Structure 1
């Protein structure tokens, strides 16, 4: 698991993440101070003091993140103190977020708490580029 071959394959990034279903885990007994970056999916059950950037984030109910989060998708169940910037966000009922959220689509389960501003960003700001169809529909309606 910790061989040099594994280290090389995790450094190669997206191709391996898609091909082998690669993911990283920060367990409940771990406390990280500093920024965390992952090219693959990331599951956090421990605590992090720093920014988190990954493809897809799953946060456990007992975890805590103090810092900003940037991801394509995120499913949060623990505590976050900081900004969240994602395309697809699910806030579970046990989640507590204190910070501003930028999202394309969001689901907040009953009981999930958000203390901050919610800002829906259109696909114009997304990595995939602008969507022409919805804009054309608005022009026709006007």
Structure 2
């Protein structure tokens, strides 16, 4: 019914000559060195030191800049700084200056943004300056004081409030046509004089 427990001394012998994997790594780095006077010492070969692992994400982050992703169940409030791209799936109440903002269908943003491009599939309410481009998707709703460089609104997209195109150097077509006409006349006159 009861069995006798084996004693530690009854345990099978393990081979003690085999170093553990961590000892093997250390042994591969330890190299004999000779000093003056013929004495031998040992040191660690610095060329064999392990380098910190870098993963693809770190390299990709440098390429695309700093990105903040606010998930569906997250509520973020405050000022967002040093962010190149903001993706909103939850709720954000903030002010920010950045390159890009993307608000998904489930996302809501209340506040102020000064941005290059905005892609809105969810809800935005506040003050937005989209210097280059504002895209309002079919599920998007933008309200407030909005200024934009270029705008695209898909059928179903909603806008409300004050909308203003950012004044830039727009080419004057009449002036451009006159310049082309002058160039053609100059080329014709040059041909005739030759």
Please give the TM-score of this superposition, normalised by the length of structure 2: 0.54
Ranked by relative contact order (alpha carbons within 8 Å, sequence separation 6 or more), the top structure is 1
Question: Which residue number in structure 1 is paired with residue 141 of structure 2?
Answer: 96
Show the counterpart of 2:74: 30
Change (3 A) 1:34 1:141: same
Change (3 A) 1:29 1:138: same
| Residue in structure 1 matched with residue 151 of structure 2 by the alignment | 106
Separation in 2 of the partners of 1:29 and 1:91?
Answer: 23
The CA deviation at 1:28 is: 1.1
Larger radius of gyration between Structure 1 and Structure 2:
2
Match in the other structure for 1:117:
162
TM-score (ref. length: structure 1): 0.72
Offset at residue 81 of structure 1 (A): 1.2
Contact kept in structure 2, 1:38 and 1:55, CA below 8 Å: no
Q: Aligned-pair distance for 1:141?
A: 7.4
Contact in 1 for aligned 2:94/2:112 (Cα 8 Å): yes
Q: CA deviation at 1:37?
A: 2.5
1:82-131 C-alpha deviation (Å, 9 max, x unpaired): 011112110011111121210110000111111112111123xxxxxxx4
Q: Which residue of 1 aligns with 2:97?
A: 53
Equivalent residue number for residue 171 of structure 2: 134
User: How many aligned positions are there?
Assistant: 119
User: Which of 98, 110, 121 is equivalent to 1:66?
Assistant: 110
> Mind listing any 5+ residue stretches in structure 1 that lack a counterpart?
1-8, 10-15, 124-130
The alignment partner of 2:139 has SS state of: coil
Q: Extract unaligned runs of 5+ from structure 2.
A: 1-57, 179-194
Shift of 1:46: 1.2
**Counterpart in 2 of 1:4?**
none
Measured on the aligned residues, the alpha-carbon RMSD in Å equals: 2.6
1:38 CA displacement: 3.6
The runs of at least 4 aligned residues of structure 1 exceeding 6 Å deviation read none
